[in-house]
């Protein structure tokens, strides 16, 4: 019959994460119908319309949430930075190591000599780790190539990972991440390259869904960031910003001025910056893994973000230097423990607001009819458990586009 559903997932408790209603947008005793990879119907089982489904799955009272969205990662890179971790434990700071030519630059050296195949092979298990905890959408940035060919190769690797059938991958060009060694003393010329020929090449090949910059004392100035953003916007590309992570650079307001999808980190952002983000609809992406691993002390301005109604997303920031974290669930726990976010805020951060930080709010991030059937099903008694357990993964099954992710791969 014409209106037949493909799958009916029933006997579920559903945390739709639709804002404004019950906590977690919860439906006790619900069901979700899927057709052609999209949610055809979601609601209380008692209101289920009479309809045929090819397959009905009894979920034994488990909880369903939107598939998780990890909206800020640097998953594709060569090498690792375990030695630098040892140096930091010996007393060196992250900024000192960066200034001495280590830090991001050491990952750049290892990434430049890696082939496309090497990069994909190294990143695949990292992406699989996120997927095992229910991530159905993952953003991946470049920023460890810092020349046209190596930046493009990183993004091609990210595209290849996205085509492999696991989580949906979105890509972000982060050419303005660090100054490559061959441009020492010529930072302006490097910014010209990033905003000009590098961005041209990346855009011509369709390799980037968005453009990011690292605006920081040890990276790029607000003026340099604005140059890159102007070029990106002229090409119709969305922008996002590593803003005010280590110092207040006015990054939040700068991101807002360019209508950025998100300003990320934002530990040092001012009240004015937060207000500007609220006015522009820019999402704050908080990254507790980096805060934890660098033992930062400046907490993000959570109270101001709440008061101004800025949507708050959370992400792993998975990267070799400041956040070697491959666990969305641990990031949620850290956000609750370190930032005092509620478990509901933490889950919204990895679902509804994470999707919004990627411009994907119409596609994923809540369980609503019409959206992609990106669904995580968990062996838990209440949604707060997702932020509560430390190193327990209660994922039962994750569907992307209605299909169990392990079957897609």
User: Is 125 buried (19+), middle (13-18) or exposed (0-12) by CB count in 10 A?
Assistant: exposed
Among 127, 286, 290, 318, binds ligand DI6 (CB under 6 A): 290
**Least Å from the CB of residue 404 to Fe ion:** 30
- Taking CB under 6 A as the binding criterion, the range among 187-195, 316-324, 331-339, 348-356 that sits at the site for ligand DI6 is 316-324
Among 317, 344, 345, 374, binds Fe ion (CB under 5 A): 317
**Least Å from the CB of residue 314 to ligand DI6:** 14
Q: Phi, psi at residue 2, to the nearest 5°? A: -60, -40
Residues 137 and 364: their CA atoms lie apart, in Å, by 9
Is there a contact between 78 and 107 (Cβ–Cβ < 8 Å)? yes
Q: What DSSP character marks residue 179?
A: -
- Taking CB under 6 A as the binding criterion, the range among 17-25, 148-156, 203-211, 319-327 that sits at the site for ligand DI6 is 319-327
Report 170-229 residues binding ligand DI6 (CB under 6 A).
177, 214
Per rule CB under 6 A, count of chain residues that contact ligand DI6:
14
User: Which residues touch 330 (CB under 8 Å, ≥6 apart)?
Assistant: 289, 390, 391
Query: Between 52 and 91, how does the x/- string for binding to ligand DI6 read (CB under 6 A)?
Result: ----------------------x-----------------
Applying CB under 6 A, does 242 fall inside the site for ligand DI6?
A: yes
Applying CB under 6 A, does 320 fall inside the site for ligand DI6?
A: yes
For ligand DI6, the closer CB: 24 or 291: 291
Per rule CB under 5 A, count of chain residues that contact Fe ion:
1
Residues 114 and 144: their CA atoms lie apart, in Å, by 11
User: Which residues touch 142 (CB under 8 Å, ≥6 apart)?
Assistant: 76, 151, 154, 155, 158, 171, 172, 173, 174, 175, 177, 208
CA within 13 Å, CB half, 64:
37
For ligand DI6, the closer CB: 13 or 242: 242
Q: Phi, psi at residue 356, to the nearest 5°? A: -65, -35
Residues 356 and 244: their CA atoms lie apart, in Å, by 20
Cα–Cα distances in Å, from 187 out to 192, 223, 246, 279?
9, 12, 20, 32
- Taking CB under 5 A as the binding criterion, the range among 46-54, 90-98, 274-282, 312-320 that sits at the site for Fe ion is 312-320
Among 7, 317, 344, 374, binds ligand DI6 (CB under 6 A): 317
Applying CB under 5 A, does 209 fall inside the site for Fe ion?
A: no
Report 84-113 residues binding ligand DI6 (CB under 6 A).
103-104, 107
Is there a contact between 262 and 313 (Cβ–Cβ < 8 Å)? yes
Site residues (vs Fe ion, CB under 5 A): 317
Site residues (vs ligand DI6, CB under 6 A): 74, 103-104, 107, 177, 214, 242, 245, 290, 317, 319-322
């Amino acid at each position: 019959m014409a209106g037949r559903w493909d799958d009916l997932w029933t006997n579920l408790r559903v945390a739709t994460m639709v804002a404004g209603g019950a906590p977690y947008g919860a439906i006790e005793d619900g069901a979700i119908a899927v057709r052609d990879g999209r949610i055809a119907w979601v609601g209380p089982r008692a209101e289920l319309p009479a309809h045929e489904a090819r397959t009905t799955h009894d979920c034994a009272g488990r909880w369903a949430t939107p598939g998780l969205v990890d909206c800020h990662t640097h998953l594709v890179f060569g090498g690792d930075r375990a030695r630098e971790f040892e140096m930091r434990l010996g007393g060196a700071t992250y900024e000192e190591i960066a200034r001495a030519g280590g830090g991001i630059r050491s990952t750049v050296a290892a990434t430049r000599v890696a082939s496309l195949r090497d990069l994909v092979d190294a990143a695949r298990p990292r992406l699989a780790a996120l997927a095992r905890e229910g991530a159905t959408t993952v953003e991946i940035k470049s920023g460890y190539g810092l020349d046209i060919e190596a930046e493009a190769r990183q993004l091609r690797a990210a595209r290849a990972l996205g085509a492999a059938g696991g989580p949906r991958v979105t890509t972000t060009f982060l050419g303005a991440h660090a100054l490559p060694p061959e441009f020492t003393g010529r930072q302006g010329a490097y910014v010209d390259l990033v905003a000009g020929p590098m961005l041209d090449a990346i855009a011509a090949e369709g390799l980037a869904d968005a453009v990011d910059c690292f605006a920081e004392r040890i990276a790029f100035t607000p003026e340099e960031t604005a140059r890159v953003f102007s070029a990106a916007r002229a090409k119709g590309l969305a922008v996002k910003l590593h803003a005010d992570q280590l110092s207040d650079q006015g990054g939040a307001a700068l991101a807002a001025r360019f209508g950025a999808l998100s300003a990320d980190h934002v530990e040092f952002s001012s009240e004015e910056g937060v207000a500007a983000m609220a006015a522009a609809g820019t999402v704050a992406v908080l990254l507790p893994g980096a805060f934890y691993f660098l033992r930062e002390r400046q907490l993000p301005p959570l109270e101001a973000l709440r008061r101004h109604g800025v949507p708050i997303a959370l992400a792993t920031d998975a990267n070799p230097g400041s956040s070697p974290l491959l666990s969305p669930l641990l990031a949620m726990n850290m956000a609750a423990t370190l930032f005092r976010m509620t478990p509901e805020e933490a889950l919204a951060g990895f679902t509804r607001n994470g999707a919004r930080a990627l411009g994907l709010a119409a596609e994923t991030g809540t369980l609503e009819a019409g959206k992609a059937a990106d669904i995580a099903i968990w062996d838990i008694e209440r949604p707060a458990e997702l932020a509560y357990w430390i190193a327990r993964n209660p994922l039962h099954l994750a569907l992307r586009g209605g299909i169990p992710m392990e079957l897609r791969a």
